[in-house]
């Protein structure tokens, strides 16, 4: 197989029908914040135990094609001995890795951010591939402000995403190119559509200049939504229409798939909206989820860092994974949401 065939086949496997990605790549500050909400001490062992419980949820591979890991996790061993990527690969789940080093303030543009991590990236990518990663992720953060995002923010982020993607393809791993438009603010849904459109136009222009092969990458971004504080919230079909209209205009059809982040939406609305978007059909790219919080929230709440709660936490994750798997097929509804008790427990 040529390197391009490998990239395309990995992208295709990540987009297997009815499957999506689990984003479990929270950085130290982010996982610390999530643990703090349940008084879970942010220790290395707690992070290891938590990720192991997620990955060993029985039947996970039926709804999850790939897991995005954090640097610490890809190096950790499970309680049974194998490394985390070996555990996932053994379950038929493709290990991926977050490779950016986080977003920091953009100088001269208060409230805007750019993402660190290009220095030494070629060497880090080679190591991640040896450790078992087959795809990578880089997140750019775009805030919707009164006058923003500034052109400087869009161009800095588009350029880094494109360089990251080119380096990742060079290393034989599928880049998941993630420009996240934040939900913070009181803006209308139309403003989100406008900003997402401007962002995607810049990102795809930079990817093209950098010779990123569209067939060997995935786009990860949010649904088109009004700001969290907007007095007029949108219905699911309005969200679906705006999201698909924006993607049709700006995402080349040669990109095999678009995966959604959840971005702070609650679990059930995220699944409902995913169902509305995916239910439309007839898109040139495949659509699926790559949720962090909207897959994990209930599971972490059930676990609380207590070993005796592992089965309940796995039940919660298994349920959300099944609901989102059905949503990708447009077959999710209230009945499915209230129907619990599929296969539960641990594979290990
Ligand atoms: P959320 O689904 O919690 O937004 O996380 C997805 C992700 O990978 C953000 O980079």
Contacts of 333 (CB under 8 A, 6+ apart): 275
The DSSP-derived string for 296-336 is HHHHHHHHTT-GGGHHHHHHHHHHHHHHHHHHHTT---HHH
Which protein residues are within 6 Å of ligand 1, measured from CB?
23, 139, 178, 261-263, 291-294
Q: What's the gap between Cα 205 and its chain centre?
A: 22
Picking from 171, 172, 261, the residue whose alpha carbon sits closest to that of residue 219 is: 261
pTM for the whole thing?
0.97
Residue 218 near residue 177 (C-beta atoms within 8 A): yes
CA of residue 20 to ligand 1 center, whole Å: 13
Picking from 26, 14, 17, the residue whose alpha carbon sits closest to that of residue 66 is: 14
Residue 346: per-residue pLDDT: 66
Residue 81: per-residue pLDDT: 95
Residue 341: per-residue pLDDT: 57
Residue 277: per-residue pLDDT: 98
Query: 220 catalytic, yes or no?
Result: yes
Q: Which residue's CA lies nearest to atom 9 of ligand 1?
A: 261
Residue 279: per-residue pLDDT: 98
Residue 150: per-residue pLDDT: 98
Residue 281: per-residue pLDDT: 96
Catalytic residue, candidates 180, 220, 241, 267: 220
Residues of the chain below pLDDT 50: 343
Residue 118: per-residue pLDDT: 98
Ligand 1: residue of 102, 292, 300, 320 to mutate (most ligand atoms within 8 A of CB) is 292
Structure tokens at 14: 């990540």
């Amino acid at each position: 197989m040529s390197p391009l065939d490998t990239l395309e086949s990995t992208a295709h496997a990540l987009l297997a029908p009815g499957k999506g990605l689990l984003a479990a790549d929270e950085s130290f500050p982010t996982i610390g914040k999530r643990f703090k909400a349940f008084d879970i001490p942010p220790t290395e062992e707690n992070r290891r135990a938590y990720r192991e419980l997620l990955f060993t949820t029985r039947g996970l591979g039926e709804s999850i094609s790939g897991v995005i890991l954090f640097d610490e996790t890809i190096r950790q061993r499970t309680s049974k001995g194998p490394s985390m990527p070996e555990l996932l690969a053994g379950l038929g789940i493709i290990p991926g890795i977050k490779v950016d080093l986080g977003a920091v303030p953009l100088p001269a543009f208060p409230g805007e951010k750019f993402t660190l991590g290009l220095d030494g990236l070629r060497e880090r990518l080679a190591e991640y591939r040896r450790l078992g990663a087959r795809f990578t992720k880089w997140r750019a953060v775009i805030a919707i402000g009164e006058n923003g995002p500034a052109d400087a923010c869009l161009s800095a982020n588009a350029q880094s995403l494109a360089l990251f993607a080119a380096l990742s393809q060079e290393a034989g791993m599928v880049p998941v190119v993630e420009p996240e438009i934040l939900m913070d603010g009181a803006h209308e849904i139309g403003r989100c559509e406008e900003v997402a459109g401007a962002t995607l136009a810049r990102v795809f222009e930079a990817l093209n200049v950098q010779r990123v092969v569209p067939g060997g990458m995935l786009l990860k971004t949010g649904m088109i939504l009004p700001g969290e504080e907007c007095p007029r919230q949108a219905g699911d079909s309005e969200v679906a229409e705006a999201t698909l209209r924006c993607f049709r205009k700006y995402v080349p059809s040669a990109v095999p798939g678009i995966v959604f982040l959840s971005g702070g939406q609650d679990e059930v609305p995220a699944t409902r909206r995913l169902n509305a978007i995916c239910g439309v059909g007839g898109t040139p790219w495949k659509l699926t989820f790559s949720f962090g919080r909207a897959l994990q929230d209930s599971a972490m709440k059930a676990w609380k860092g207590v070993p005796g709660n592992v089965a309940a936490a796995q039940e919660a994750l298994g349920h959300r994974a099944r609901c989102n798997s059905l949503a990708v097929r447009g077959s999710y509804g209230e009945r499915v949401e209230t129907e619990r008790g599929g296969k539960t427990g641990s594979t290990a």
